[in-house]
C-alpha cells in the first residue's frame, strides 16, 4: 500500500470516528431525556395511586354512610362532588383542563384550568 493511501485511509477513519462520537453524544442526550421523563412519570404515577386510593376510601365511606332518599338528590350530589373533586385535583397540582388533563402542573397556574373552574 502506498504512503498516500495509508494517510487517506487514516483520515477517513478519523472522520468516521468523529461522526460516531457526535452520534454517541446525541444518543446520550436522548437517553438522558428519556430517563428524566421516566422518573417524572413514575413520581406522577405514585401520586395518582395515592390519590386514587384515598378517593376510593372516601367514596366507600360516603356510600356506606349516606343513601339518598330521592333520585334528584343523587344528581345534585354528583354535580357538586364532581366540581369539588376537580377543584381538589387542581389544588393538588394537576391539570383539569381539556388541553393537559391529568398532567402535573409544573409552571404555576393554568389559565385553561382556572377558566374551567370559574364556569
d(CA 110, CA 6): 63
pLDDT of residue 82: 80
Bind-site residues: 95, 97, 110, 113
pLDDT of residue 1: 59
**57 neighbors 88 (Cβ within 8 angstroms):** no
Bind-site residues for Zn(2+): 95, 97, 110, 113
pLDDT of residue 18: 96
Helix ranges restricted to H, the chain: 3-65, 71-91, 111-117
**pTM of this prediction exceeds 0.75:** no
Q: Walk along the chain (119 residues) and give the pLDDT tens digit of each residue.
A: 577 789 999 999 999 999 999 999 999 999 999 999 999 999 999 999 998 888 888 888 887 776 555 544 544 444 577 888 888 888 888 888 888 888 888 888 888 888 888 87
In this structure, is the dihedral angle defined by the CA atoms of residues 54, 56, 57 and 58, taken in order, positive or negative?
Answer: positive
d(CA 20, CA 102): 40
Amino acid at each position: 500500500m502506498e504512503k498516500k493511501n495509508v494517510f487517506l485511509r487514516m483520515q477517513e477513519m478519523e472522520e468516521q470516528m468523529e461522526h460516531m462520537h457526535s452520534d454517541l453524544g446525541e444518543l446520550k442526550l436522548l437517553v438522558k431525556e428519556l430517563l428524566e421523563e421516566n422518573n417524572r412519570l413514575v413520581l406522577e404515577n405514585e401520586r395518582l395511586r395515592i390519590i386514587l386510593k384515598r378517593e376510593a376510601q372516601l367514596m366507600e365511606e360516603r356510600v356506606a354512610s349516606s343513601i339518598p332518599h330521592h333520585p334528584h338528590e343523587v344528581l345534585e350530589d354528583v354535580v357538586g362532588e364532581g366540581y369539588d373533586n376537580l377543584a381538589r385535583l387542581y389544588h393538588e397540582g394537576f391539570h383539569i383542563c381539556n388541553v393537559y388533563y391529568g398532567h402535573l402542573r409544573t409552571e404555576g397556574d393554568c389559565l385553561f384550568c382556572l377558566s374551567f373552574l370559574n364556569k
